[in-house]
Amino acid sequence: MDIKDIIKPENRVYAKSKILTDTPMHYCPGCSHGTVHKLIAEVIDEMGIQEKTIGISPVGCSVFAYNYLDIDWQQAAHGRAPALATATKRLMPDKYVFTYQGDGDLASIGTAEIMHACNRGENIVVIFINNAIYGMTGGQMAPTTLIGMKTATTPYGRKVELNGYPLKITELLAQLDGTCYVTRQSVHTAAAARKAKKAIRKAFENSALKKGTSFIEIVSTCNSGWKLSPVKANEWMVENMFPKYPVGDIKDI
């Protein structure tokens, strides 16, 4: 068979979304961020909303997201993405506005911002990457760090009497009247990635319908911060994080 026959459109199995740029990603091998970027790009591409989408990325591993997704972006101060997203959406209500935040950013530094944006029911999408650690700044304990989990600031493991309990921010936000869709997903397998993509699409559709805030937590790995190989990190996540942060829809109005 000639190579020209193989590359015919009808024989194509997969093509990279045009929303993704050709810029090599800076994320560590095995990091979940790249997969989530791919899913967001595919949803935007399939919905045909590239020119109408604005992403808000704050400080953290996702700070360079604008290099990888060819949409309009704004940068926010650490934890303040929901506040900036609120202003952006209110000024341009016809746009699809989403924030892309890590657990240290959203669940610690930006707790007030995310809580009040969700309580107001802003018509935005929030994508929350939870790897239970401050990945970019040295592997410190985050609000979502598990009990007993070793980090740069809890070398002997997180202790309740000293550090308190892991914060299940997603369940807290589900209690607020302003949230219309709250779900927890993962991307560690092909099947899980398909479910996460479906959730992301539903969130963007909710925004167009003005139903309120859609919140998607992605339970993720940080194999560099966890000091594990990509394969071992996925296994550790399933064994340790899923019992505390079970995947599935929490709220769907």
Residue 86 has pLDDT above 80, yes or no: yes
185 burial via Cβ count (<10 Å: 0-12, 13-18, 19+): buried
The CATH number of the domain covering residues in 26-252: 3.40.50.970
198-234 pLDDT, tens per residue? 999 999 999 999 999 999 999 999 998 999 999 999 9
Listed by start position, the domains of the chain span 26-252
Is residue 4 pLDDT above 70, yes or no?
Answer: no
132 neighbors 241 (Cβ within 8 angstroms): yes
Neighbours of 209 (CB within 10 A): 10
C-alpha span between 111 and 113 (Å, rounded) = 6
Cα separation, 96 vs 56, whole angstroms: 11
Q: Taking the complete model, does pTM exceed 0.75, yes or no? A: yes
- Flag whether pLDDT at 114 surpasses 90: yes
The string over 19-48, giving b where at least 16 C-beta atoms fall within 10 Å of a residue's C-beta and e elsewhere, is: bbeeeebebbebbbbbbbbbbbbbbbbeee
